[in-house]
Structure 1
Amino acid sequence: MIHWFYLHIRAIAHALRRLGGQPLGTLLSALVVGIALSLPAGGYLLLDNVASLVRGVSGTPEISIFLDPKAGAGEVAAIDKKLRAEPMLASYRYVPRDEALKQLERSGLGDVLGGLTANPLPDAFIVSPRGEDPALFEQLSTRMKAWPAVTHVQLDSAWVKRLHALLGLGRSAVMMLAALLGFALVIVTFNTIRLQIMTQRQEIEVSRLLGATDPFIRRPFYWFGGLQGALGGLVALGTVWLGVRALSGPVSALAETYGAVFVLAGPDGLESGVIVAFAAFLGWLGAAISVRRHLAGD
């Protein structure tokens, strides 16, 4: 095990010397990888922020449960007990018919309601589910419609369905872009390693004459590709953060026009690690393909 670590440390040192020995080429390669990866990474991050902004502006989607006007206190208490025991609910509140009428009067409909001889509004419960999955709303609605004394269940989830559909479309487009750019970056790394192999051809032949094994020869190239990709991932992170800082002001101003307070968020620690790791994997993959292709016959 110690020998294995020593060989990898030696390979990393060799790859770092190669990267440091050609600073301009290393910088340009990192910029190419970073700028390309920043497009899907920034797009995915933008979708998450837009979803948070829309939720903040539109409010939390709810389910309204309207009771039979003839429902008594016992039936209201029974529904309250069912809601309290429902694990998929975040919160709920009871809205008596008199309170609902007062809310309508305060909304400017007092003249219209003044001619009514009786309150036509039913008692209701306003329910907030845990999450915004449209399937969850449909599931809860179907269950609640079967409860005694419930005459109608209204879903406030139409905008949630549209939002989920748009976000799903956006994420699919981002994934396609990431796949295409990832393939291009593998090709870039493939050509970079191919040039490295060509310039070190004599060194590789001497190493084999001295008894070097194939894994020993290939290992520095793998690390070269992985480190080059990781540098590109760091450039992508920096590019995304610059974009977040540039857009945070306009986005906050847009949110204020809707009466909301919103701060554009950058990638967190996990997302940052995923970006760098994905870039390193692409670099390693391109190096592995190139090494197997150009050293197979050596």
Structure 2
Amino acid sequence: MREAQPRHTSMRGARGQRPRKGSQLRAWARHHRAMCRDSATRLIRHPLASLLTMLAIAIALILPAGLWLTLDSARLLDAELDESATLTAYLEQAVGDAEAGRVTEALRAHEGVAEARLITAEAGMREFQESLGLEDALARLENNPLPASVVISPRDTAPEEVEQLAGALEEVSGVDEVRLDLAWLERLRRLAELGQRLVLALGGLFGLGVLLIVGNTIRLSVESRRQEIEVVTLIGATHAFVRRPFLYSGAWYGLGGGLLAWMLLSLGGHWLASPVTALAESYGADYRMPSLDWLGSAVLLFSSTLLGWSGAWVAVNRHLADIRPR
């Protein structure tokens, strides 16, 4: 019985600790909810100052977000360019239509060829006449000087792979020459790569700008509440307790700036959609202004909120180290 007494006491102590842990967790959650509401209320009490801070954050987010949308359009254009990356295999002049079909099947059977389309000498002459508008003059020619050709779509559109494929196809019997022009495609790929790096650089630069905007705003808030912070620190408040309302304020600033950026991007897209579409149609292209989908909107809002929270964290940690209770 004597041995059972401590055991019973320890079990009772263990049971007694559980409510304390649960109450601590509930108190922690209540404080988070209270600080979240309190920080939002403080922003609402000063609507003009809060709106100006959020607008500055939105302006800093618009440019990288707009370039991101442009890169999405460039990726769609890059896919179309991949489809247009073709080779033209010119057959020997002596190859007839039947032999041209056999050569086309041999080219189509190559592992690097996705599709091969035969253009006979007569079809090539007709296309040439229609493109130049010289039907009468070219009709007087006794012999057709154009050879049959095969338009080939490669499976891999990488410039190195296409060059190797062209060299391999020239070895096929009946093929006189394989031509390809990758210079323009390579230039466009280089421009797309430059655009990606530019977006990353601007995104990092303007992200730093958001951190500075939020950090400066939170720094002023910390200074205005210095006496309150000193008092709660004297009675035993931890840095995490003191830091919490400022972190929620930074998150609210970031979220508000992200919402304003999303609204401005949407309004700007609708405003520019009509003239951009008309300009594209004048060049015979089908282009539409890119817009943020639900995933892009979620990424924008999450990034802006995280930047606001991070800026507040840096500012509060820096200035809490300088505040000492008197």
TM-score (norm 1): 0.82
Match for 2:85 among 39, 62, 87? 62
What pairs with 1:83-232 in structure 2 (closer than 5 Å)? Answer: 86=112, 89=114, 91-107=115-131, 108-110=133-135, 111-112=137-138, 114-127=140-153, 136-147=158-169, 148-149=172-173, 150-232=175-257
1:129–1:137 Cα contact (<8 Å) kept: no
Q: String of CA shifts for 1:128-170, please: whole Å, max 9, x gaps.
A: 657xx6xx14313312421323443333443333323333334
Distance in 2 between the 1:5 and 1:153 partners? 71
CA displacement at 1:202 relative to structure 2:
2.4
Q: String of CA shifts for 1:179-219, please: whole Å, max 9, x gaps.
A: 33322221121111111112222222332334322212212
Distance 1:5 1:122, change over 3 A: farther
Distance in 2 between the 1:155 and 1:226 partners? 54
Q: Give the equivalent residue in structure 2 for 1:76.
A: 104
Distance in 1 between the 2:88 and 2:222 partners? 70
Question: Which 10-residue stretch deviates more, 207-216 or 183-192?
Answer: 207-216
5+ residue gaps in structure 2?
1-21
Greater Rg, structure 1 or structure 2? Answer: 2
TM-score (norm 2): 0.76
CA RMSD of aligned residues (A): 3.1
Distance 1:244 1:128, change over 3 A: farther
5+ residue gaps in structure 1?
none
Higher-RCO chain (CA-CA 8 Å, sequence separation at least 6): 1
Distance in 1 between the 2:37 and 2:208 partners? 27
What pairs with 1:251-266 in structure 2 (closer than 5 Å)? Answer: 251-266=276-291
Distance in 2 between the 1:154 and 1:81 partners? 19
Letter in 2 for 1:225: G
Distance 1:80 1:52, change over 3 A: closer
Distance 1:50 1:143, change over 3 A: closer
Distance in 1 between the 2:142 and 2:272 partners? 52
Question: Which 10-residue stretch deviates more, 229-238 or 8-17?
Answer: 8-17
Q: String of CA shifts for 1:237-274, please: whole Å, max 9, x gaps.
A: 11111211111111111012112333212122222222
CA displacement at 1:227 relative to structure 2:
1.8
CA displacement at 1:37 relative to structure 2:
1.4
1:61–1:160 Cα contact (<8 Å) kept: no
Distance 1:13 1:95, change over 3 A: same
> What percent identity do the matched residue pairs reach?
33
Letter in 2 for 1:186: L
CA displacement at 1:118 relative to structure 2:
4.3
Distance in 2 between the 1:15 and 1:48 partners? 37
Distance 1:151 1:215, change over 3 A: farther
CA displacement at 1:122 relative to structure 2:
2.9
1:194–1:291 Cα contact (<8 Å) kept: yes
